[in-house]
Amino acid sequence: LNPRFTVEQIIGEALSIHFQIKGKELREKVESLLEKVGLSPMYLNRYPHEFSGGQRQRIGIARALALGPRYIVCDEPVSALDVSIQAQIINLLQKLQHEENLSMLFISHDLNVVKHLSQRTAVMYLGKIVELARTEQIANNSAHPYTQALLASKPSLDPKSRNRPKPLPGDVPSPLNPPSGCHFHPRCPKVMDRCKKETPRQIQIEEGHQVHCHLYDE
């Protein structure tokens, strides 16, 4: 958010440029957008530094809605927020998804957040999709070792989960100089010789569930 703009300017800029809306009509439209994301119209003349992280995220969402989009890209929209605020923003996005009939591309490093919003999930490693499936398939029947590692990384208070798999070894390679074969092979706990040489092809292991992994290529 532009620190020199008021909330009215931040949200109203696109409306005035694309729709030539001005004056009272512009203010009323901005007020309506604020209410839609759960903020009071009384905040119109305030600046970004006067808001909490969650409130600033709501302002950003209101700005994204200003032009009536059908498709929104949400790039790590909750990663910098406290867990309780994350839940509020996720609930807001779910609500808007249904009320505005929106399609969303939700980008996140946390699969446990993704499952609350997405119908289909693509897991990527070094810029390549390694697994693509319905979100419930990813959550309940993940196939790729990287997906399994992501799911296992979720903290748990359950004593029975203390024997979870160990964290992945090594560091993420540079995407400018990725490993040969399967890019994940230097860190994979199930690596085979062919993984180091051959790029895995896409394999469908069940309806709507594809994985790029030699473990399933017989």
Domain hosting 30: range is: 1-56
Q: Does some domain include residue 100?
A: no
Q: Does some domain include residue 117?
A: no
Overall number of domains in the chain: 2
**pLDDT of 154 over the 90 cut:** no
**pLDDT of 84 over the 90 cut:** no
**pLDDT of 167 over the 80 cut:** no
- Average model confidence (pLDDT) for the chain? 90
Q: Does some domain include residue 163?
A: no
CB of 142 within 8 A of CB of 115? Answer: no
Q: Does some domain include residue 86?
A: no
What's the pLDDT score for residue 217?
A: 84
What's the pLDDT score for residue 111?
A: 82
CA angle 40, 55, 74 (to 5 degrees): 120
Each residue's pLDDT tens digit, 36-61: 999 999 999 999 999 998 999 999 99
pTM of the model: 0.81
What's the pLDDT score for residue 156?
A: 66
Q: Does some domain include residue 46?
A: yes
Q: Does some domain include residue 34?
A: yes
Each residue's pLDDT tens digit, 101-146: 999 999 988 888 888 889 999 999 999 999 999 999 998 999 999 9
Q: Does some domain include residue 185?
A: yes
Average pLDDT over residues 147-164: 73
